Structure 1
Amino acid sequence: MGASLCHAQTFLFILLLFSNYWCSCLATNPIATSANNKDYIKISCDTTLYPQLCFQYLSPYADKIQTSPKLLANTSLSIALSATRSTSSMIENLSNTSGLNPTEKAALLDCVEELSDSVYELQGSMKEMAKADSGGSNFKLLMSDIETWTSAALTDDDTCTDGFEGNAMNGQVKTIVLSHVGEIEQLTSIALAFINNYAAT
């Protein structure tokens, strides 16, 4: 009877050691950690208006972001800025192509100006985001500025597309502009959502 009890205790001790080792392996397993990071991105993106686009752009940065609301906001803001710069450059090049009618030319130049403002505002948001620390005394003020500038960038994107409304603008130029600017509007909206979430921490 005593020997059986001893064997049982030994078995339980070995089982406990193995369980602790297994849990430790899971905690440090880079594959498991990477999956957890992607889950965080997926769950966060599901709270935005554009979850699929959000996950498409942010999932490659999952291991950098991990589960940090600040890094999530900062990365999404950086993506929106990069996309806006690229789109602004593309539309500026498009405005210099031959064969445009005067209405198209004017709308494209107006759009370039609006997107230039958007780039400036997103750059300002990025600079302020670098200073923002949820434990800092001026955190709320900085986040309010970032929210204001990012909202202004979103408005500028929307104003750009206003110039392409109406039957006079039906055609390939309108399709290209609305497609590209529509995407940066969505990316900026995603960034603003995560900025708002971080501001609430």
Structure 2
Amino acid sequence: MKTFSSSTNHFFISIFIIFFSIISISSSTSEKPYQDANTYFIRTSCNSTAYPRLCFASLSKHAGFIQTNRVLLTSAALNVTLASAKATSVMISTMSKSYGIMKPREAAAMRDCLEELRDSVDELRKSIGKMSQLGDSNFEVTMNDVQTWVSAALTDESTCTDGFQGVNGNLKNTVRSRIVQVAQLTSNALAFINQLASSHA
């Protein structure tokens, strides 16, 4: 009787292990292709931008949200850009207050840059709000507005960096490196916007 019970238990344990292994393998193989497809979509889409490495690094973590949807890709790119622009604006504002005594040229460059960056943040925020209203009936008008605002945001960011041409030292390097990254993210987002607009032309 003990032998039968032991054999039976061993049999059921073996069946359970085999069943669990099959479930684990099937679940992993069913999820991985979707994850790979999402990541591949982002990578190939980023290859068409001016800064593909930055593009993929900033968007790959949102692959589950983006999936393989071009509208969601564009929205994600805009949101990532807005977050970077806001963080940079806070950084410049903090530096302006804590940097110490600045030369008149430095103070003017920081003040002008902060104003330009705040305009950029506002334009990116408008673009994101407009994208959330995107539909077939208003597609062209909406995309035209988004293109205009994001292009203006990119111009504002470029104007900010131009203002530091007569400034030397760590202040210029620190601010400019952050603004350049925001501008590159904006450029990538604009590339996706233009592609989305042309896909419905």
Question: Do they superpose with TM above 0.5?
Answer: yes
Aligned to 2:143: 143
Aligned to 2:42: 41
- The number of equivalent residue pairs is 173
CA contact (8 A) 1:34 1:63 kept: yes
Which residues of structure 2 form unaligned runs of 5+?
A: 1-25
Q: What is the identity, as a one-letter code, of the residue corresponding to 2:158?
A: D
Measured after TM superposition, the shift of residue 158 of structure 1 is 0.3
Aligned to 1:50: 51
Calculate the TM-score normalised by the size of structure 2. 0.83
1:114-160: CA deviations, max 9, x gaps? Answer: 00100010011001000012xx2221011000000000000000000
Residues of 2 paired with 1:106 and 1:29: CA distance?
57
Aligned to 1:127: 129
Residues of 1 paired with 2:102 and 2:73: CA distance?
41
Q: What is the identity, as a one-letter code, of the residue corresponding to 1:46?
A: N
Provide the secondary structure at the position in 2 that maps to 1:131.
Answer: coil
Provide the secondary structure at the position in 2 that maps to 1:164.
Answer: coil
The ranges of structure 1 where at least 4 consecutive aligned residues each deviate by more than 3 angstroms after the TM superposition are: none
Write the mapping of 1:58-73 to structure 2, written as runs, cut at 5 A: 58-73=59-74
Measured after TM superposition, the shift of residue 190 of structure 1 is 0.5
Residues of 2 paired with 1:55 and 1:138: CA distance?
30
Kindly, what percent of the aligned residue pairs are identical?
45
Measured after TM superposition, the shift of residue 197 of structure 1 is 1.2
Aligned to 2:31: 30
The match for 1:193 among 191, 194, 197 is: 191
Q: Over aligned residue pairs, what C-alpha RMSD do you find? A: 1.5
Which residues of structure 1 form unaligned runs of 5+?
A: 1-24
Provide the secondary structure at the position in 1 that maps to 2:161.
Answer: helix
Q: What is the identity, as a one-letter code, of the residue corresponding to 1:50?
A: Y
Residues of 2 paired with 1:61 and 1:32: CA distance?
16
Residues of 1 paired with 2:137 and 2:170: CA distance?
51
Residues of 2 paired with 1:43 and 1:132: CA distance?
24
Aligned to 1:80: 81
Aligned to 1:98: 100
Q: What is the identity, as a one-letter code, of the residue corresponding to 1:127?
A: G
Measured after TM superposition, the shift of residue 194 of structure 1 is 0.6
Aligned to 2:180: 182
